[in-house]
Structures are given as C-alpha cells and as structure tokens.
Structure 1
C-alpha cells in the first residue's frame, strides 16, 4: 500500500500486489547492464514506488546496495562506493550539472575557454553515431580528453547506468551527460503502474526528448485526446477503500495515467504534460505548462519555474532565479551589484531585466498565447521542507500557488484594473 505524492490532488492509497511489482522487476532487470555483485548507490526515499521497485531489482540481480548518507554527502559517497548503477531524479542531475558549471566558471584564461568550448561540444551531442559528423566526432574526442572524462570520474568512474525518473530531464543536460560518457536511462512511470512504464535505454535504441520504449509486459496506447493508457500485470489492484476513483482510473483494464503523450517514429513515447495541469487562458487557448517550464529552466539563470494563468488573459510563471549564476554574471557585467544582500540583488532592476531576457529567449519556442508575460520573480526556492515539493522533488502546484497567492492576485488584478 503506497500513497501517491498528491501533486495534483488528495493522496490516494495505491494497492500493489507481489505480482504487480515483480512483473516490473523482471522488466527492469532485462534492460539493466550490470552483473551480480555490482554496486548500486541509492539516496531516494525507499517509501517511493520508483525507488522501492529499483531496490527489489537490485536484490533480484544480486547487487550490493549502498545507502547514501545524505544529499550533501553524495559527492563523497560516489567517490567511496564507485557505483555501477544509481537512481536519480532530474533535480539531482541539475544540481550536479550546476556544480560542474560552477567549478568550470571559476577557471580563468585559457583553461576557462577550453572548459566553455567542451561544454558547447557536449550540448550538441547526438546519441545516434550515424548523425555525428567526422569533424564533430574528432571534437568530441578532444573534449573528452581535456574536460568531459573528468565529469565521469567525479561520479565514481565506473557507472554503467544512471536511471532518471519522476520528472522530465531537459535535453541540453541529457546531451551533455551522454557526451561525457555518463549512461543516462530516462524512464517514465507512476505509482499505479508499479511504477515503470517505459525507458530510454541503449539495448533497443534511444531518442532524446522522449521516455523511450515500453518495458517488457507493458502495453501502451494513446486515447483520442492524447492521454497515455497502460495495460499489463504491473497495473495496480486499485485505490484503497476508494472504488469510485479506481473505476475512473482503470477502464476496461486500461490504466488512465492522466499524462498527455505522443509517439515519435511511431515507437518512442514523448510526454507532453499532465492532463490535469493543462489549462485554458480566457481567450479559450490551451496552455501546456511542462514543455514551457522545461525550456525556461534550460537557462542557467533560472533555477525553477512554474507556469500559471488558468482562466486569465495570459500565461505567466513563478520564476526562481539561480542566484549563484546571476552573481557570477554580475561580477563582470554589473559589478556594482556584487556586494548587495541576496534580497536586494534579486529585486534589483538590472537582475530583473536579465531574468526577463532569459524568459523572452524561451518564449521564442512557443505560440503567442503560450508565451510567458510579466513573470513573477521569487526570492526563495521551492523545497520539500516548505511543502512545495514532493520527496522526489516534483512541484506541488496547488501548494505553491497558495503560498504565492498574493503575488498572483497582484499581477492579474493589476491587469484587470
């Protein structure tokens, strides 16, 4: 009995049988390129369906399981354990990437230029060798020798798989890690499916920007409105003492995920958004938050973003700036700001202008009705401790909106006036 995280409503008790979970373990084991006695490092909550299934898979395959001491000590634990496999959520990989970037930006002169060049090469990486030119292959080889191999070594130097799930990973980061030889497996699932549904993995092909192919025993189809439907032995028994919700979620044996998807090349599943998170602006146009949020946080100056505006004239977003990167930028471009307090710094017109420039850059990828207008810049990060993130670092949209209702009202009231 595992309760959902409650990102879109009240948590529900998901009833999973031994057979539900074991079918998922068999599907995961089939695509895990490790052997008996290999080392797994884990630091996600074991009460979460994703981590629980992973731990069972480790046991089934005969791995040695190492439990990380804390998030702050992951770097030390990686060096100690030298894992062959570990599980993460995108937010953790984003933090790792930010730390790499921060270390690189502390370099000066020729070393800094080499680092920046290697990052640019990494972010252009395509996992399909046929799509990489000879010139790019040579550049990648040099970038690895000079910079990128150090990234792999920093994660222990023996990784065969880094399994990422729970939320989408933005493409720039995926390309950079793959270029550095860090083998990312991006998966998709939900507690009600035990939880694994599909995975991007290298035994049967990978497509960046998708969540790959269905795992063994799992069948996927898309409803007319694009909702992802799942059938298989992994689908839950139902919700604990909640037949009404069970009957709305499992119809004719098909689990209605509440996620909107599409197929790429007729076989790779791409997640577009949560059905419940889609909203209409007052003009009648639909806004799908997730791709907009993903594009926004591709900017190194934006730490977190949540799109808002249900029923309003336009879409906006709560933006949490990346203080460290903005401070680094200000040292060269606005040195008069460098000694300010964090609060004064983030509310300074120069910084607000810089963040808005990054928002406009992201807006170029979307239709006029989807573009973020008048973003609300917040000072404090969304965290698990303040109740705005789940234990696997998903945003609790309702809670975030409640916490920042005043800013929301001020923005749209101003527009009404």
Structure 2
C-alpha cells in the first residue's frame, strides 16, 4: 500500500455557499468581464456587476414561483450562457441544481427528475420540453417547466420583480457549505445512474485548490476559458465554478462542430477538453497537410515537436540541431496550429480518459501544453492533475492539494479529502460500498511514483480474463490504438476467450483523405472495411498498440465495424466513455466472428 498527499492551498469558508462567489466578484471586481456572451454572432463582455444583477433577478423569480430552500431544480440544456446564469440563480435561491444531459432519453429524464424529486425544471428547446412532458404524468412533484428558447429568463425576472432582497439574504443565511449544491447523475456505463450529492464545500475545496495550484492559468483580467464540454458533466461544472472563483472570463460554445470558429473569435488563453478533442485537432491538421501535399513536412514537424518535448525532460535538454529544427517548424507549422486553437492559448487541461504520451509530447512541443488530470463525478471532477510547472507526461499528475491518494494492496485507487461527495441520493447501499473505511473506492487501478504522480492502468471491473487465465487491462492498448488517425474508437474483447481481440470504428473524416491518397473511389467504411491496404494500415495501428503490452495481452485479431460508437447510438456515455456491456451485446456476432476458426 502506498499513499501521497499535498497540503491544501485554499481554506474552505466556514460558512456561506457558492452564490457568494457572484456577490464577492461584484464587490471586488465590479467592472471586470467575468463572462463572455455571444449576442447576434458577436461576443459581448458581461461584468461582475451585470452578472450579479441577472443572477439575482432569476433567483427572485424562482422564489416567487415556489422553489423553496433545498428544493431540487432540473436543468436540461446545451452548454450556453444561460446554463451558468441559472445554476448560480438556483444556488442563490437556496435550491439544488440537478443537471440533465440534453441528449438524455425519456427514460433517463424520468429517472433523474423522479429520483431527485425535482419540483421544477428549465429546458432549452421544444424537444427537451416534449421529453419532460412525456414523463410528467409520473412525476407528482414537478410543478414548473420553463423553456430557455421561449424567454424563460425574462419570465422568471418578471415573476420575481416584487421579491425583496431580504428574502435572498435569508436564503443565503440558511444554506451552508455542507448543504447539497447539486445532484449529478453518473453517466451509467452499466446499470441505472446514481445521483451523486456534491456540496458547496466540495466545490470550494475542489475549485479553490485547482485555481491556487494553477494560478498562472487563472490571472484575473488576463486569462479566459471557452467552455464547450457539457456543463451537465462534472468536468464542465469544474470549469464554470473555477473560472468564476478566480475570476477569469468564461465563454460558452454549445456546438463543437464550429469549435474552430469559436476559438478564433473568443481567443481563450486556456482550453479544457477530453482526449478525443485533442486527437481530432491533430488528425485534422495532419489530414489537411496531406491534402495540400505537405504531409511529409507535417510528419517531420510532428516528430520534431515530440523529440523536443521529450528532450525537455532530460538533464541536457534539446541539442542545438533539434532547437534549430524546432524553431524552423514553429514558423512553418506550430504557429498555424496554435492559431487554430485561438492564438493566445498556452495551456489546456485534459480529462475523462488517458491522453497518451505521444499526443502529450506533440502538443507541448508545439507550445500548447496539455496538462492531463484524472477525476470522477464523486471527486467533484479533478482529484489529480499535472502542475503547470512540473508536468510528467504519461501520468495524471499529483493529488489535488488538501487530498490524499492511496493505492490499495490490490492496486485500486482510493481517495480522501474535502472534495469528495457525501452520498448517493436515495441509495445507502451504494454509498456504504463506495465510501468504505473513510476512503472512496474509485474502482480504478493505478500506481504512484516516488514524487506522488499517479498513473491510471485500468478499471477493476473492466479487467478481461482470457481462457488462459491472463488478466488484461484494456485501457492501455485501446488508448494506444486509438491514437492512430484512422481509428475513431477501439474496444478490446477476450473475456473467457483464447486470445485478445478488438473492435474498431473508423474516423470517417480521415478515412476520406486516406481513400483519396490511395486512389480508392469510395470513401465509406462499408465499402472499404475489407480493403487489404486499409486493413494493413490498421494492422500497423494494432502493432503499435501491442508494443505497450505483453504478448499474452496483445491483440491478435480485429474487426472493422461499418458504424460508429456514439452517444446517440447508446454506445458512449455523454462523457464519451464506452458502454462496454452495450457494445458487447449489440456486436455479439462481430465478436463471435473474431474467434471462429
């Protein structure tokens, strides 16, 4: 058993709640732009004073509409300015936010609103409203539903016009740091989602220590962040609260299909994302270079960036020749890539899944350092992250200051600290199992090095045991294979089988470039999945992945699927994690085909 901890850098307030952040910003930084809001296609600044006025008006409207202290209020919307506005208004009204993913099915909506006992719900669109109305008959406590695209903000503001400030003062005094701030329902890779109760204290401990440890990334009046992750996910919520705690300017981008344009217009100094976002940036740049006849130049530039980054971790540093090549490629390639990311950014934070060492070195090598972290809903997002000044690529960093990471005898990662959730809503059995002996049992496997840097090696429940008795952690090889530009997703299989196999889905955008380069008239997966040249290219990706594991753990055969694993298809969670049991069930025939003689 091994454990590591760092002293806290932030002291959680003895009293008060998250709504105090908005009041404090208006008092200390009245004219500072704490948010950016897109109006008629143009980004407009929202000062701390203006945001407080809006939050107060909406909070009064909630009070006037019957939302009481401790009541749960559902919030179902894409990532947009109003999400953050309503979130803080709910807290100012003394209530509890219950996020609902905007892609949720009617069954999920029924469960989340019903299990939480929500008395009201704000939705974004007519489609969302129909989902709620379809299940409303079974939700006896749901009294109010408002639509953001039908001016819910205006309606609430009007409704609360006569509510005095003293009422909100009373609500603020009644809600303390240990009261629930939100109930976030886990993505549910298996089974029914559990409602994770996170308190105001959890967010103060989490976001306060993140801001203090990454202080150069949170300079008030200088730094900004564009949030495009779902705010319904705890990682997105970390960004929201931490940005306002600092405060730095926070913008929202609801549609990642136009992310490049949004980054160019907003020009953030920092990005938050999941590995797939950074993989897409790399693969798109490489595909564009190859389409323009500059593929060889890009590949040389990428190799140089990676070598340069690796050299930074050595005592002697980069050689003169490497420094000269790096300087040349900075003008030819790296500066253009940084421009795609907004032109001002130097750092990004990545979570949700392993980033991969090669990609981590590539981005640091081009002058855009991606700090990898690790966390869960139950740890209020990040429980470990790489510090800006002592990054170790290939790890998820050191523990959140003020918390402890322990590796149990069986390799499981255990956590302790003020940032940890208090309980699962209405689920005492699951709470007792997860919070045993004062430690949160994550279900993840990991290791700690001598400096306290954590590396995640797999999931206890995802361990595959082959027919030969070999234990295989799929995450390592899956991440390596998925690093190939052709591969969108990879799922390793082989439980109870004679060897390890894999199901692959292809990146359709890059596949089109591959088909053009190889003279293939068709660019669809269905037409190319048996193409010998394509299979040979994928075999190279698998061979590269196999280098990370032993022979017994290596992928012996793979199948290319002509569909995609998506959230809409039910194969990915909203945080883009594989629902392994669903994939296994839906593609049982493809898996069987791997093992036919």
TM range (shorter): over 0.9
Give distance in 1, aligned partners of 2:343 and 2:229.
Answer: 21
In the superposition, relative to structure 1, how do residues 365 and 162 fare at CA in structure 2: closer, same or farther (>3 Å)?
Answer: closer
Residue matched to 2:327: 141
Q: Secondary structure at the match of 2:555?
A: coil
Give distance in 1, aligned partners of 2:414 and 2:321.
Answer: 43
In the superposition, relative to structure 1, how do residues 340 and 155 fare at CA in structure 2: closer, same or farther (>3 Å)?
Answer: closer
Query: Equivalent residues in 2 for 1:272-283 (5 A)?
Result: 272-283=457-468
Which stretch shifts more, 210-219 or 322-331? 322-331
Residue matched to 1:170: 356
Q: Secondary structure at the match of 1:375?
A: strand
Report the structure number with the largest CA radius of gyration. 2
Q: Secondary structure at the match of 1:373?
A: strand
Residue matched to 1:92: 277
In the superposition, relative to structure 1, how do residues 62 and 358 fare at CA in structure 2: closer, same or farther (>3 Å)?
Answer: closer
Residue matched to 2:211: 29
In the superposition, relative to structure 1, how do residues 361 and 166 fare at CA in structure 2: closer, same or farther (>3 Å)?
Answer: closer
Equivalent pair of 1:321/1:355 in contact (CA under 8 Å): no
Which stretch shifts more, 43-52 or 132-141? 132-141
Give distance in 2, aligned partners of 1:267 and 1:135.
Answer: 34
Structure 1 position 64, deviation (Å): 1.9
Residue matched to 1:103: 288
The question of 1:343 aligning with 2:526 is answered: yes
In the superposition, relative to structure 1, how do residues 133 and 379 fare at CA in structure 2: closer, same or farther (>3 Å)?
Answer: same
Structure 1: runs of 5 or more not aligned? none
Q: Secondary structure at the match of 1:241?
A: coil
Structure 1 position 347, deviation (Å): 2.6
The question of 1:240 aligning with 2:425 is answered: yes
Residue among 371, 380, 401 paired with 1:216: 401
Structure 1 position 277, deviation (Å): 0.8
Give distance in 2, aligned partners of 1:350 and 1:177.
Answer: 30
Structure 1 position 129, deviation (Å): 6.2
- Structure 1 residues 284-324: Cα deviation after superposition (integer angstroms, max 9, x where no partner): 11011000101111222322101111111111111113344
Residue matched to 1:74: 259
Which stretch shifts more, 62-71 or 229-238? 62-71
Give distance in 2, aligned partners of 1:4 and 1:129.
Answer: 41
The question of 1:393 aligning with 2:576 is answered: yes
Residue matched to 1:308: 493
Residue matched to 1:115: 298
Q: Secondary structure at the match of 1:16?
A: strand
Structure 1 position 362, deviation (Å): 2.5
Structure 1 position 331, deviation (Å): 4.1
Aligned length: 409
Equivalent pair of 2:206/2:380 in contact (CA under 8 Å): yes
- Structure 1 residues 144-201: Cα deviation after superposition (integer angstroms, max 9, x where no partner): 1221121112211111431111111011111111111112121100011112211112
Give distance in 2, aligned partners of 1:221 and 1:376.
Answer: 38
Equivalent pair of 2:476/2:548 in contact (CA under 8 Å): no
The question of 1:362 aligning with 2:548 is answered: no
Equivalent pair of 2:505/2:562 in contact (CA under 8 Å): yes
Structure 1 position 8, deviation (Å): 4.1
Give distance in 2, aligned partners of 1:143 and 1:265.
Answer: 36
Which stretch shifts more, 130-139 or 227-236? 130-139
The question of 1:191 aligning with 2:391 is answered: no
Structure 1 position 340, deviation (Å): 6.1
Give distance in 1, aligned partners of 2:547 and 2:295.
Answer: 30
Give distance in 2, aligned partners of 1:40 and 1:65.
Answer: 5
The question of 1:298 aligning with 2:487 is answered: no
TM-score if structure 2 supplies the norm length? 0.66
Q: Secondary structure at the match of 1:117?
A: helix
Structure 1 position 341, deviation (Å): 4.8
Give distance in 2, aligned partners of 1:51 and 1:326.
Answer: 31
Equivalent pair of 1:8/1:276 in contact (CA under 8 Å): no
In the superposition, relative to structure 1, how do residues 69 and 192 fare at CA in structure 2: closer, same or farther (>3 Å)?
Answer: closer
Structure 2: runs of 5 or more not aligned? 1-182
CA RMSD of aligned residues (A): 1.8
Equivalent pair of 1:186/1:201 in contact (CA under 8 Å): no
The question of 1:59 aligning with 2:244 is answered: yes
- Structure 1 residues 75-107: Cα deviation after superposition (integer angstroms, max 9, x where no partner): 111011001122111111111111111111122
Give distance in 2, aligned partners of 1:13 and 1:50.
Answer: 16
Equivalent pair of 1:327/1:338 in contact (CA under 8 Å): no
